[in-house]
A and B are shown apart, each in its own frame.
Chain A
Amino acid sequence: MRDERLVLGFLAFHLLVAAPGLALMYALGLVRPRPVALAAAAGPAFVIGLVVVGVPLIALVVLGVTVGTPASLAVLAVLTLGLGLAALRRHQRERQVLAGVGSAAARPPVFELVVERLVLAATAGYLALGSLAFAHVPTMWDDANIWSLKGLALYYHEGLIDGVARNSQLSGVHLDYPILQPLLEASFFRAIGGVDLRLWHVELWVLFAALLWTLAWLLAPLGKRWLWTLVLATLSVSGILITNITLGDADTTMAGLVGCATLSFGIWLERGQRSHALLGALFIAGAANVKNEGLAFGVAIGVALVLVVALGRVRGRWKDLALSAAVVAGGVLPWQLWVLGNEAATRATPSPWQVVDDPGYLLDRSEFLWRGIEQIVLQLTNTAEWGLLVPALLVVATVLLVVRRQRTLVSFYLLAALLASLSVAYTYWVTPFADLGGFESRTGPRIVLGIVFAVGAGLAHLLQLAISATPSDEADSHAVEDPPRAEPRVEARA
């Protein structure tokens, strides 16, 4: 009976979370009402639904509302209904357009088809069988002290109880860390009928697979698929990610969302559809509500976007950017405001405005900055974990810049990765940990995960552009400067 409840609850949980995500994807014109397209959108729908439902739930928790099963289901129902109605209106408006959208893309050559399917099948098999490795994992240190502590408090007491969230005894275990992942954990336990901290690792692995699926779903309609399958396959097999999920940490979830955000905005720069910008904003809001690094990486992506839109060859995108910024702000503010008002939630890393008036402090620690930069480069060029992902992006991007192809887009990916790296370097620079060596060994491999996923997203996208026969920016500047507003065009997916 217990096993049946667990399996049914597990399935119901994913279907329920995916429902508002799917409705939003349809409302944004990103999915067609066809069985294969809907099935292909299942993973991304879960990821998007998680953010769409999770962020309002965080706002409610912050406001002191009891968020148990009834409140969670009510929020989920209201959002699914609202987004479903928006999707229905779009469906009625575009029925004829949708009927006319076909997937008449030419069948790729056999070689490409074989590589694509072989790599995808091997990766999917690896992820599916890999889940067995997480079914009995014990609760490790960070998980017990940070993530599952909050998850269990939210599960048993349905809110931010003072004994955990405002307890100065727990200031050392990062009460400022956002709670999207613990909120998901509490909801997961409610769905499966009780607490099983071991199984939570399986769910983290499922979420990781869904994030990779989301990247694949975003890339699929852009062109040749066999190229990016290898990029996603490289991301999927890293041992650092296995360790991170085994530890119950939140870096993988945050990094996956950062990768999805980077790619969504890259597609928006290339194609000009507002829906991709909104999706990117949603992913940033999600990442920022998983870990504080997600907010830092989100700022890096935002600054990169503003720079390329202001200085690059794209025009008329400010409205989309403003809307995206509003989505991010609305998603991020509830938790950040709560942290500001909580004396026990001290931040380990001082903000730039807290140290900028003390240049002597920064100068004294310039060695930390240099060591941080070296550590970042060391991790990003760790070929045993990431293959040649980062050097490959640098080479492909450099070639595209030299031959003047998609320079705005290339600049965005390079700037986003550079600024994200600088945000990590800043952490090394001002970290209060005196034992920098220990900090490097404990944190070094996982603190760069957001950069790795942003790089992976950029490389996957640029590879498709590099191999396509599109003329250079010089030859056809319209393609870059003023891409057609494609709405209400529906992507030919699946």
Chain B
Amino acid sequence: MSSPLITLAVLLIGLGAGVLLVASLLRGSSPAVHSWSLAAAIVAVVALGAYWPGKLRGSAQVLDGQRITYAATDERTAREKCLNDMGRPDLVQALAFAREQIPEDAEFAVTTNSPSVACLMINLFPRRPVAVADPARHWTVFDRTAPANVVEDATRQQRLPEAERRYLTHSPSFILVRPEPEAGP
């Protein structure tokens, strides 16, 4: 038998012995059937009661520690935690740039080589994500995934005034592409 099953067997034997002991003490004070079930209930309640106060104290301490740990977290930091968790703290600034550029009522497609597309999405809401990008209507967000021609065009357009660019570059690896109708000349 493996260790978890042995643990279970030991616990059951211990509680069973407790029931035998209590039932023998109750013998004579009530009908036999009732003595046994009463003994089982008493043992179960005592077993639960023995653990609970310590666990209550321990969990209360855990909760208090959590309250202190997170006391200074603001909403934006809370939402950006997944960016740091996936090893991409650079995306905090990059997505702030994207939120400045992409209107809130716009639609966007995002491609990334990071482990979580969802994490980028929750930091771009309320902008509406789309499953399939239509360059004529949707913004595109490239995070380390821009094809070579996009990188070239983005680099070339950096000489233009920002309002005239179609490609908006936060860093060489993070590029936004406006929908075509919005693009400058």
Residues of A128-186 whose CB lies within 8 A of B: 129-130, 132-141, 144-146, 148-149, 152-153, 156-157, 161-164, 166-170, 173
**Residues from chain A with Cβ under 8 Å of B49 in the complex:** 230
Do residues A381 and B4 form an inter-chain contact, with CB atoms below 8 A? Answer: yes
Query: How many angstroms from the CA of A469 to the CA of B33 in the assembled complex?
Result: 9
* A133 with B67, Cβ < 8 A, contacts A388-B11, A392-B48 known: yes
| B176 part of interface (Cβ distance < 8 Å) | no
Q: Assess the A381–B60 pair: CB atoms within 8 A.
A: no
Q: Does A237 make an interface contact (CB < 8 A)?
A: yes
Query: A198 contacts which chain B residues (CB < 8 A)?
Result: 70, 73, 75, 78
Chain B: CB-nearest residue to A402: B36
Greatest chain B CB density within 10 A among A140, A173, A233, A391 is at A391
A230 touches B48 (CB 8 A): yes
Q: Is the CB of B82 within 8 A of A395?
A: no
A185-199 vs B, CB cutoff 8 Å, 1 = contact: the mask equals: 000000000011110
Please report whether the interface of chain A is mostly helix, strand, loop or mixed according to DSSP.
helix
Q: How far is the CB of A238 from chain B (nearest CB, A)?
A: 7
Interface string of B51-95 (1 = CB under 8 A from A): 110011011101110110011110101110110010000000000
Contacts of A140 in B (CB 8 A): 81-82, 85
* Interchain CB contact under 8 A, A233 and B82: no
- Is there contact, CB below 8 Å, between B67 and A132? yes
Task: Tell me if A350 counts as interface (CB < 8 A to partner B).
Answer: no
B118 contacts the other chain (CB 8 A): yes
Is residue B128 within 8 Å, beta carbon to beta carbon, of the partner chain?
yes
Min CB–CB distance B94 → chain A (angstroms): 17
Secondary structure of the B side of the interface?
Answer: helix
Complex contact A164–B45 (CB within 8 A): no
Question: Does A381 lie within 8 Å of B11, measured CB to CB?
Answer: yes
A463 to B30, CA, bound (A): 17
Q: Bound complex: CA of A391 vs CA of B18, how far in Å?
A: 12
CB distance from A360 to the nearest CB of B (A): 25
Contact of B19 among A139, A161, A238, A395 (CB under 8 A): A395
Check B5–A391 contact: CB distance below 8 A: no
Known: A162-B130, A162-B131. A395 touches B40 (CB 8 A): yes
Residues of the B chain whose Cβ atoms lie less than 8 Å from the Cβ of A405: 33, 37
B52 and A136: CB pair below 8 A? no
Beta-carbon contact of B129 and A466 below 8 Å = no
Q: For chain B, which range describes its interface: under 10, 10 to 19, 20 to 34, or 35 or more residues?
A: 35 or more
Q: Does B24 count as interface, using CB distance less than 8 angstroms?
A: no
Whole-angstrom CA separation of A140 from B30 in the bound complex: 55
Contact A163 B118 (CB under 8 A): no
Chain B residues whose C-beta falls within 8 Å of the C-beta of A136 in the assembled complex: 67, 70-73, 78
Chain A residues near B32 (CB, 8 Å)? 403
Contact status A391-B8, CB under 8 Å: yes
Chain A residues within an 8 Å CB radius of B27 = none
Decide: A163 and B15 in contact? CB cutoff 8 A. Answer: no
B41-A227 in contact (CB<8A): yes
Bound-complex Cα distance A388 to B8 (A)? 10
**What is the distance, in angstroms, from B180's C-beta to the closest C-beta of chain A?**
19
Q: Which residue of A lies closest to B64 (CB)?
A: A133
Are B130 and A163 closer than 8 Å at their CB atoms? yes
Interface check A234, CB cutoff 8 A: yes
Taken together as a complex, chains A and B put the C-alpha atoms of A233 and B37 apart, in Å, by 22
A contact residues around B85 at 8 Å (CB):
140-141
Q: Is residue A459 contacting chain B, with contact meaning CB distance below 8 A? A: yes
Select from chain B the residue with minimum beta-carbon distance to A130.
B63
A9 is an interface residue with CB less than 8 A from chain B: no
- Cβ of B121 within 8 Å of any chain A Cβ, yes or no, is yes
CB contacts (< 8 Å) of B158 on chain A: these are none
In the assembled complex, which residues on chain A have CB atoms less than 8 Å from the CB atom of B129? 153, 161, 163-164, 167
With a cutoff of 8 Å between Cβ atoms, the chain B residues found around residue A439 in the complex are: none
Residues in A neighbouring B58, C-beta threshold 8 A: 237, 239
Q: In whole angstroms, how far apart are the Cα atoms of A140 and B11 in the complex?
A: 36
Which residues from chain A contact B78 at a C-beta distance below 8 Å?
136-139, 197-198
B48 with A388: CB separation less than 8 A: yes
- Counting CB contacts under 8 A, is A389 at the interface? yes
* Distance in Å: Cβ of A168 to nearest Cβ of chain B: 7
Per the bound structure, the CA–CA distance linking A141 and B122 in Å amounts to 12
Assembly CA distance A378 to B3 (angstroms):
8
Q: Does A399 contact B (CB under 8 A)?
A: yes
Contact of A220 with B by CB under 8 A: no
Q: Is B34 close to A, CB under 8 A?
A: yes
Asked if B48 and A130 sit within 8 Å, CB to CB, the answer is: no
Interface check A383, CB cutoff 8 A: yes
B45 touches A463 (CB 8 A): yes
Q: List 17 A-B contacts (CB under 8 A).
A: A133-B63, A135-B67, A138-B73, A139-B81, A152-B125, A153-B129, A157-B126, A157-B128, A163-B128, A195-B75, A230-B45, A234-B48, A239-B62, A389-B48, A391-B12, A392-B43, A402-B36
Residue ranges of A at the interface with B (Cβ–Cβ < 8 Å): 119, 122, 126, 129-130, 132-141, 144-146, 148-149, 152-153, 156-157, 161-164, 166-170, 173, 195-198, 227, 230-231, 233-234, 237-239, 242, 246, 344, 374-375, 377-378, 380-381, 383-384, 387-396, 398-400, 402-405, 459, 463, 465-467, 469, 471-472
Residues on B lying within 8 angstroms of A by beta carbon are 2-5, 7-8, 11-12, 15-16, 19, 30, 32-34, 36-41, 43-45, 47-52, 55-56, 58-60, 62-64, 66-67, 70-73, 75, 77-79, 81-82, 85, 107, 109, 111, 116-119, 121-122, 125-126, 128-132
